[in-house]
Structure 1
Amino acid sequence: MARPFKRVIPFLVAALAAAAPAHAERVVSAPAPAIDAAPKRKLETAVFAGGCYWGVEGVFSHVKGVKLAVSGFAGGPRDVRVDYETVSGGDTGYAEAVRVTYDPKIVSYGTLLRIFFSVIADPTLLNRQGPDRGTQYRSALFPLNGEQDRAARAYLAQLGKSGLWNDPIVTKVERFTGFQDADSYHQDFMRKNPRHPYILRWDAPKLAAFKTMFPASYRDQPSA
């Protein structure tokens, strides 16, 4: 798509919002991870791709222990500079992603994975989430060290055996080649635009589900 669904036809998204169900997408209670990543630093960083980064960033910013959640791009060639418009073409190899900086004494990498697959991303959808289609909206995990890689692969295998989904898990663990920030318009989008039709239809339900399912991990005030 030259220009994404959420910006080209907001009137249609508004119509969808009016008819939205209680949850925009299927919510599941993903299991606690059998294997977690041992922390290496006082603050750790993790990168997740799970469709439009507005909702991914919006949910993670409300997780206790998350210090910063930044919308951007991951998964493409290291030496190629990209932005929202180029990635939206679907042929750069990059996906919309979020870089999460967190305190592992408060929230673990495994807990972030559990929240991600419970309320943010459906791991059985190939190159799409919600209304968005294309490789730039794929779900992927980008481990930044061996501990995260081990935990991510183990958790995907665990989810595959959980019976929570009828279809196979297609989320991949991908090599981390760097992260590029999206421009300021896309940062903290849910917090700045709570009444945006796309947020109301697709992302606010994810945040509501997170608050309900993980009350001990939820905080009202989002990270900076």
Structure 2
Amino acid sequence: MKIVTDALEQVGLEGQLIEEIVNTGRFLKVREGQPLIEPGMEAKEMPLVINGTLRVMREDKEGREIFLYYLEGGDACAMSISCCLGTQISEFKVVAEEDATLWMVSMHYIDTWMVKYRSFRKFIFDSYHDRFDEMLNTVDGIAFMNMDQRLMKYLLDKKQSTGSFVINKTHEQIAQELNTSRVVVSRLLKKLEREDKIELHRNRIEVL
């Protein structure tokens, strides 16, 4: 359990709360590409990311997706908390961007910890604030950026979330997440390569 304790200490939670979270939670390992939350699901557990990266998206009735933000080590899924506290079903999708280890905590305890522990209230409010800012950035990108700017921002966000300059994505996968066509993505990636911002390889992109 040391890996869980260390992760919780890093986000500023107090010892007694950490002990309760450890005693009431469970490990869950998800592999790259594995869905964790689907639209229509009822959120019964709050995932805390121990390591790895999750990708949060919106999906319409036709199955088209748009990328919202990443969840990384030490992050909590504020949307799942919101669904639970409001007794609503999920309207978003969470998928493992890479192999990830999660600590799953029953939503049954969230209300109690919010009242009992100031550090937990701060952690939840900070999570809401950070996720809200990231969604605003996504909205700004859609509203005010050209597609080549959105694509470059997407690549830089991916690099930051994984800590790697190499992005293992196909052009089709990127197009789905940006809600555009593969042809457009391929053309803009070629343009970024000519500008010496990236290098293109088979099914991977290197950010320079």
Same fold (TM over 0.5): no
Higher strand residue share: 2
Structure number with higher relative contact order (C-alpha < 8 Å, ≥ 6 residues apart)? 1
Higher helix residue share: 2
> TM-score, normalised to structure 2's length?
0.30
